Structure 1
Amino acid sequence: MNSPDARAQVEVEAPADQVFSLVSDLPCLARVSEEFGSGKWLGGSAGPSVGARFRGSNRRGIRIWSTVSTVTDADPTRFAFDVRFLGLPVSRWQYDIEPTETGCKVTESTWDRRPAWFRPLTVIGTGVTDRRVHNQRNIELTLAKLKQAAESPAA
């Protein structure tokens, strides 16, 4: 696979399995994410497993759009999914979780998979002109919120 278009890492003082549970639970992911607002498992899936699909509702300001994602990895070290809109590939999102002595290191990455002809149309729908820069900022903010959520006493 080629290099991601956006990526960041954070050290989290919480067990890797706890962090996996946070990023693979759609309501929890929505609480820490900058753009993903909610998700619903499709086709009888009740949670993260390879091949499971979910409909994601995304938001940016007043703009709202939905996508369908397919889980490609769902184990304690990685949660990843491929995103499609109207059947077209949009992106891949991946959370790599590496245990450390004090908790774990989480790396969030994304790959833009939109066909070139489709990119101008997505600007209209999302309001994002530079998806790489926007996703980099969102990843950094999401990881900061994830760290806070995982390290909070209520987690």
Structure 2
Amino acid sequence: MQGSVSVTMKAPAEQIWNLVADVRNTGRFSPEVMEAEWLDGAAGPAVGARFRGHVRRNEIGPVYWTTCRVTACETGREFGFEVLLGDRAVNNWHYRFTPVDGSTEVTESFRFNDSAVMRLFAVVGGQLRRRRNNRDMRKTLERIRAVVEAEN
């Protein structure tokens, strides 16, 4: 299961990337993630860096922490991370930044890893989760756009 949303922002890609790739900003923009912090002495984004996010699922609960690992980190171009269950990735989030006529198209996407559990989830409740993720990705991107466009 996967999904993506794109929003064009009147700001340079690097400016937007700086907000997104510093996961400590996540709570400002995400409807479900309240806060995030770097782990293991990481001071910022780099492939392999780990962080944890404090999540309030569906904005009401349950509330829990997830551990994540950065999988893509190229300033002004892309930022991605996987959500871990133990040492195993279960979900992947990715941002791509594409310059377009003086603006930047930002695409946020998610993809659940293929497994028997996730295939079952896709049948049982996956469509609701996909719809929620798509709605929340749009909210996240719109909130980021409001910040970066106010700064320019």
User: TM-score category by the smaller chain?
Assistant: 0.7 to 0.9
Instruction: Quote how far apart the aligned CAs of 1:115 are.
Output: 3.6
5 Å matches for 1:24-63? 24-60=21-57, 61-63=60-62
TM normalised by structure 1 equals: 0.84
The number of aligned residues is 146
Instruction: Quote how far apart the aligned CAs of 1:140 are.
Output: 1.2
Instruction: Quote how far apart the aligned CAs of 1:150 are.
Output: 1.2
Q: Contact 1:91–1:113 at 8 Å: present in 2 too? A: yes
Q: Which has the higher helix share?
A: 2
Match of 1:124 in 2: none
Q: Contact 1:128–1:134 at 8 Å: present in 2 too? A: no
- Deviant stretches of 4+, over 4 Å: 118-121
Structure 2 CA distance, aligned partners of 1:86 and 1:140? Answer: 29
Instruction: Quote how far apart the aligned CAs of 1:149 are.
Output: 1.3
Structure 1 CA distance, aligned partners of 2:120 and 2:35? Answer: 25
Structure 2 CA distance, aligned partners of 1:45 and 1:128? Answer: 33
Match of 2:69 in 1: 70
RMSD: 2.3
Note the alpha carbon deviations across 1:22-51, whole angstroms, 9 max, x for none: 111123222111112211111111000011
Q: Report the CA distance shift for 1:128/1:59 in structure 2 as closer, same or farther (over 3 A).
A: farther
TM normalised by structure 2 equals: 0.85
